[in-house]
Amino acid sequence: MPETQSATELTPPLTSLSEEEVMLRDAVRQFAQQEIAPRVREMDEAQKLDPEILRQLFALGLMAIEAPPELGGAGASFFSALLTVEEIARVDPAVAVIVDVQNTLAVNALLRWGNSDQKQKWLPCLAENTVCAYALSEAGSGSDAFSLTTQARPQGDSFILSGRKLWISNALEADLFLVFATVNPEAGYRGITAFLVERGTPGFAVGHKEDKMGIRASSTCELLFDDCRVPRENVLGEIGKGYKIAIETLNEGRIGIAAQMLGLAEGAWSLALRYSKERKQFGKAIAEFQAVQFALAEMATQIEAARMLVYNAARMKLAGVPFVKEAAMAKVFASSVAEEVASKAVEIHGGYGFVKDYPVEKFYRDAKIGAIYEGTSNMQLATIGKLILA
């Protein structure tokens, strides 16, 4: 292992990152270790994000990374957003969720489809103090996302929204919601339209909060719309073109989830390596046993392979070349690696890996969601299969 590489970290070759990206990565890593790490267990048990962490995420400019500086953002790249998600997920994947959704879905959608007034109104807010949630899923509309039933009836200069959304990440913290509803159920996916809905709008409420197995500090709630009046000016993009916004944002969001799973795997691996050097059995550290060395080597190899897929998909997106297949590959593989690495990390810890006194069990619980949200692994495989046969 090179002398410049910590024995408890897997760090990509510096040549793969620009100087600015290295500086960002190191700054976020320091923040995560110093500010997030001491709060991880408490937030997980309370099932609530510490407001101070959220405040610092905004203060550090991590909540609107791609937004231009004149609108309050950092003016950085999509790749910088992924590095941020990865580094935070090394410490707490739950905190990484709020950064990921905010940047790869909400800010991304406003940058690409918002009109000038919407960008001027909302991007500074998203950079400074406003969380935005992405509301697509429903009880009967998961992988079959466009079978949604939430309706938006035109009425004068407004739309009246009625329906229910489920599994909405960051709903507890959000003050703005990107909501997908249909203006014409008979038109199928061509009736779907995207709306910007503010918390406090009459007829809109955040409902039940889910009690989850993992990423417990990340809120997941239902949204209720009961004749909720949304002004026509809050339509994002074109009426009936919401499906396009959903598809394209989720294509990019998949790389964000892959980055989250990559960071999770790195965090679990680092804990396993550190513990293997500290734990002694039969008179020596368990890291000296070949079986443990082989397990750590396989984990490290899987992580590096996942990193290459994630980084390649991100670079392809930035280069403006087709990347949907590569994004799906990155997500399905990184999710699988996160589960396997977290599981092996628990095993290396032995009995200690099964108790909450050691943080590795939380990585194991957090890993499962990677194969489920923003497109299940089966949906990713279907996308890959379709594209390689095209």
Same domain as 43, residue 115 = yes
Quick one: tokens of 334?
């990184």
Q: What pLDDT score was predicted for residue 338?
A: 98
pLDDT, tens digit (0-9, with 9 covering 90-100), for 140-197: 998 888 899 999 999 999 999 999 999 999 999 999 999 999 999 999 999 999 999 9
Instruction: Check whether 2 has a pLDDT greater than 70.
Output: no
Same domain as 378, residue 249 = yes
Same domain as 107, residue 77 = yes
Q: Which residue segment(s) compose the domain that 44 sits in?
A: 14-131
Residue where a domain stops, chosen among 242, 277, 305: 242
Same domain as 377, residue 278 = yes
Same domain as 352, residue 325 = yes
Nearest to 228 by CA among 206, 202, 205: 202
Residue where a domain stops, chosen among 242, 257, 286: 242
Same domain as 143, residue 229 = yes
Q: Hey, which residues does 177 pair with through a beta bridge? A: 133, 197
Number of domains in the chain: 3
Same domain as 371, residue 266 = yes
Residue 264, domain member (yes or no): yes
Residue 144, domain member (yes or no): yes
What span, in angstroms and rounded, lies between the C-alpha atoms of 329 and 254? 9
Same domain as 160, residue 118 = no
Same domain as 369, residue 237 = no
Instruction: Check whether 6 has a pLDDT greater than 60.
Output: no
Nearest to 183 by CA among 132, 134, 242: 242
- DSSP conformational letter for 103: I
Instruction: Check whether 12 has a pLDDT greater than 80.
Output: no
Task: Give 134-158 as a 3 state SS string.
Answer: EECCECCECCCHHHCCCEEEEECCE
1-10, 96-105, 180-189, 317-326: segment of lowest average pLDDT: 1-10
Residue 88, domain member (yes or no): yes
Same domain as 303, residue 230 = no
What span, in angstroms and rounded, lies between the C-alpha atoms of 17 and 23? 10
Q: What pLDDT score was predicted for residue 390?
A: 87
Let me know if 308 is exposed, middle or buried by CB neighbors in 10 A (0-12, 13-18, 19+): middle
Please, which residues have CB within 8 angstroms of residue 11's CB and are 6 or more apart in sequence? Answer: 5
Same domain as 192, residue 122 = no
Residue 116, domain member (yes or no): yes
State the CATH number of the domain containing residue 84: 1.10.540.10
pLDDT, tens digit (0-9, with 9 covering 90-100), for 336-377: 999 999 999 999 999 999 999 999 999 999 999 999 999 999
Q: What pLDDT score was predicted for residue 8?
A: 57
Q: What pLDDT score was predicted for residue 17?
A: 86
- DSSP conformational letter for 104: I
Instruction: Check whether 50 has a pLDDT greater than 70.
Output: yes
Nearest to 93 by CA among 377, 345, 360: 360
State the CATH number of the domain containing residue 289: 1.20.140.10
Same domain as 171, residue 161 = yes
Residue where a domain stops, chosen among 103, 131, 159: 131
- Angle CA 383–386–389, to nearest 5: 145
198 catalytically annotated: no
Q: What pLDDT score was predicted for residue 285?
A: 98
